Structure 1
């Protein structure tokens, strides 16, 4: 997030405030089929071709600080094990013993220099998943030890965050993130630690939850208090990245500018956040806007100068989603972590504010799902302000493979000329 990008964002905001229509030549969007949110057919395509082929956030490197430390990860619908090897590298395996399918580890976290199934004690190496011990080996005829290694998943880190991908042929994480990764550079993410986490089960498709955070067209209607909205959606500057990632920088409203002591929407300077503090390398723009990045397919991150939450959307079935948000910040001086059960008052106050914002968004999700399943809604029209939603759906189709998707549900690929490379 260097000076050139910040100046581009400022110029984009000025353009957005001044425009009277979408840019010349911007494509007209057809309706998005509601079947993408409600049909078994599309849900099954996602399960077969989207989630097994994409990088997802699975935790933090400090979750497994020492060789042999492990955590389990089940959010992709299959049991996965993340373990730090003796060489310090973090590895990912399926948590599935290659004998009778029992989990190799049962506890959600622990530490062991060998991964030993508690059913029959088949044992695997933490560095490469090799099968190293089989009780009563004499009773197996022609047992191929090489073939019975613990199956791997891709596991890579960026700035302390751990990502996994079930596709062993996937592009490296840093290539997949591309320029979207630059947005995190000023935040010193390797120094951040979990402040607290929340989780909700929401009765709607996972894309309904994700789409709520991909536009600010709704903001003044849902998040206004006493008639005052914090943001001005008319100036929202959006950027589309390859691989479905995107950003959205939204200026403060007039009322919020006055409350913050700012002269204008582009009067970007560092603000005092009291005991929450600030990361000194974060640019002033972040203090005077809503600065958000989305990582395809299911992570929305509203960045802040003192830390940020990561919103994650995990499908349970076609009409049920687990919505998580995990807040990260620099721990108090002299401490290496936060204690979520005993947060300082200023963090408890911040937690209450953010949880209220999430509750306001969540309020619409179940009713929207019911309406999508109604014959009254035959398609979803998307406007220029909502183009990040279109970008998400285009990438879903590209990962699944357009030819696999029935034409009535398929997205027209329109936004490539607007993607920043």
Structure 2
């Protein structure tokens, strides 16, 4: 399959990695307006279970209410703004109570109890529910959007539509979560994920399992980018030994079982579809030069319950690969922030990076913040 050429395209310029104004604009114009990969339904199995999704100054409670509906709210009390939930995840009772003045909310966000406020003329609890956050459940993966009236996920990310139904992602469960902090700008994480030009030198074992030219891109424009790589062993998987950790998902075709599918979901994450498991990465910019990456490995409950199930070959393989990649990203960051840095040309193996840059620049709207387009 042919992909859009990278000929004539260049990397982003230095200002995109060092400018405080650009970093601020990225949040206002990209992160606070886009659908962000937040988690998975398996994190909310019981009524009252919740987790926090946080980015920059924003904190969102994602929870399952008593009726089983998944909801999202801004994590602050409507009284004086205190954070309601302080732990990253947990289980709530029937209500959420502010620890400051005991304002109490139902899991549907409605204000239920307010000490002494009956003495305030005209006060109406119905006018002070928690602020809702837009939330969408796509195939078990949960996305939130901080915009007031965002476009539906299907319109914002059309590349997701119907593409991965052979993987029963809503049924899967995470067996491992690794959290990494990388000394690199968040965009370099996306750049690194989007090419295997570096694989022969940086990842010799990965390159043996999926030779770097064994790839094609079926999405090469827009916020969802990527495509499959076919494995040297069509009966294998991406593990330390090259064998599968579980039986392949039942609905996969023979071709799908012989491939790994890698997709970036700008601006917040990556999904990787293997024959026997699914992997999710979420990227959270902490500063201009530091990014937190959360990586989770998902298997089917039947595989997890099978005698002898051992996901360690998949976990150890990608943990090693991740750490190799994070060092590459950190080293690249050291270079692109140099005053002498000038944008370099993309190779034909880096067409996805050029596509990411195009999407990023469109979303950023550089002309509105007084900086130039590069590349």
Say whether the fold is shared (TM-score over 0.5).
yes
Partner Cα distance (2:213, 2:254) in 1: 21
Kept in 2, the 8 Å contact 1:105–1:118? The answer is no
Following superposition, the deviation at residue 190 of structure 1 comes to: 1.4
Structure 2 counterpart of 1:126, from 107, 110, 117: 107
Q: 1:401 — aligned with what?
A: 365
**Do residues 352 (structure 1) and 322 (structure 2) align?**
no
Partner Cα distance (2:202, 2:220) in 1: 27
Instruction: Pick closer, same or farther for the CA change 1:228–1:203 going to 2, 3 Å.
Output: closer
Kept in 2, the 8 Å contact 1:393–1:411? The answer is no
Partner Cα distance (1:401, 1:201) in 2: 28
Kept in 2, the 8 Å contact 1:53–1:166? The answer is yes
**Do residues 374 (structure 1) and 338 (structure 2) align?**
yes
Kept in 2, the 8 Å contact 1:95–1:103? The answer is yes
Q: 1:176 — aligned with what?
A: 156
Following superposition, the deviation at residue 221 of structure 1 comes to: 1.8
Partner Cα distance (1:68, 1:75) in 2: 23
Deviates more, 1:382-391 or 1:190-199: 382-391
Structure 1 counterpart of 2:168, from 160, 169, 188: 188
- Look at both structures and tell me which one has the larger radius of gyration over its CA atoms: 1
DSSP-derived class of the 2:284 partner = strand
Q: 2:240 — aligned with what?
A: none
**Do residues 245 (structure 1) and 215 (structure 2) align?**
no
Partner Cα distance (1:275, 1:44) in 2: 42
Instruction: Pick closer, same or farther for the CA change 1:348–1:318 going to 2, 3 Å.
Output: same
Structure 2 counterpart of 1:234, from 199, 209, 213: 213
Deviates more, 1:198-207 or 1:114-123: 114-123
Q: In the TM superposition, what whole-angstrom CA distance separates every residue of 1:314-353 from its partner, at most 9, and x where no partner exists? A: 1000000112211111124584xx9xxxx96731222111
| TM-score of the superposed pair, with normalisation by structure 1 | 0.80
Partner Cα distance (1:384, 1:404) in 2: 31
Q: In the TM superposition, what whole-angstrom CA distance separates every residue of 1:34-57 from its partner, at most 9, and x where no partner exists? A: 211222121111122211111112
Following superposition, the deviation at residue 165 of structure 1 comes to: 0.8
Instruction: Pick closer, same or farther for the CA change 1:135–1:197 going to 2, 3 Å.
Output: same
Kept in 2, the 8 Å contact 1:176–1:243? The answer is no
Following superposition, the deviation at residue 185 of structure 1 comes to: 0.8
Partner Cα distance (1:242, 1:214) in 2: 13
Would you tell me which structure has more helix in proportion to its own residues?
Answer: 1
DSSP-derived class of the 2:150 partner = coil
Instruction: Pick closer, same or farther for the CA change 1:283–1:406 going to 2, 3 Å.
Output: farther
Instruction: Pick closer, same or farther for the CA change 1:208–1:333 going to 2, 3 Å.
Output: closer
Q: In the TM superposition, what whole-angstrom CA distance separates every residue of 1:260-311 from its partner, at most 9, and x where no partner exists? A: 3xxxxxxxx5558455221111233344334211212121222101012112
DSSP-derived class of the 1:237 partner = coil
Instruction: Pick closer, same or farther for the CA change 1:69–1:324 going to 2, 3 Å.
Output: closer
Structure 1 stretches lacking a partner, 5+ long: 1-11, 17-21, 261-268, 413-421
What is the 5 A alignment of 1:206-245?
Answer: 206-225=186-205, 229-240=208-219, 243-245=222-224
Kept in 2, the 8 Å contact 1:34–1:380? The answer is no
Q: 1:117 — aligned with what?
A: 98
Q: 1:263 — aligned with what?
A: none
Instruction: Pick closer, same or farther for the CA change 1:116–1:42 going to 2, 3 Å.
Output: same
Q: 1:81 — aligned with what?
A: 61
| TM-score of the superposed pair, with normalisation by structure 2 | 0.89
Kept in 1, the 8 Å contact 2:244–2:276? The answer is no
Partner Cα distance (1:70, 1:346) in 2: 28
Instruction: Pick closer, same or farther for the CA change 1:293–1:274 going to 2, 3 Å.
Output: closer
Partner Cα distance (2:69, 2:221) in 1: 28
Structural RMSD (CA): 2.7
Instruction: Pick closer, same or farther for the CA change 1:362–1:333 going to 2, 3 Å.
Output: closer
Q: 1:159 — aligned with what?
A: 139
